[in-house]
Amino acid sequence: MARHRLNHSGSPNQTARGDRAALSAKARHLLAPTLITLGQRPFLFGDTPTLVDAALYGNCMMLEEGDPQLLATLSPLLVNYARKLEAFRDRQSSL
């Protein structure tokens, strides 16, 4: 017997475009305060990353892994943020 994951509409293994658009809109709404902060400073609490940045970065990477365009669709700021964290990590590992 095959198992099917159901979304809220009851369709097995399918996410309608409207569902994805609605989820993206909700994510942008929930991320709005974070995006405002990232528009004002390089990292969430200033000029150097903290554990909170690592947590947000992990979520960003999961989104990118699932769909390489999704992070950019949510906000180009998130893409820039992720690349800044990677550059910081690379500079630290070369010391």
The pTM of this model reads 0.77
What letter does residue 14 receive in the DSSP assignment? -
Domain ranges (residues) in the chain: 17-93
Q: How far apart are CA 60 and CA 38, in angstroms?
A: 14
Contact 63, 70 (CB under 8 A): yes
d(CA 86, CA 78): 12
Whether 53 contacts 43, CB under 8 Å:
yes
Q: 7 φ, ψ to 5°?
A: -90, 180
Per-residue pLDDT of the chain (95 residues; tens, 9 = 90+): 445 454 555 554 455 667 989 999 999 999 999 999 999 999 999 999 999 999 999 999 999 999 999 999 999 999 999 999 999 999 999 88
Cβ atoms of residues 4 and 14 within 8 Å: no
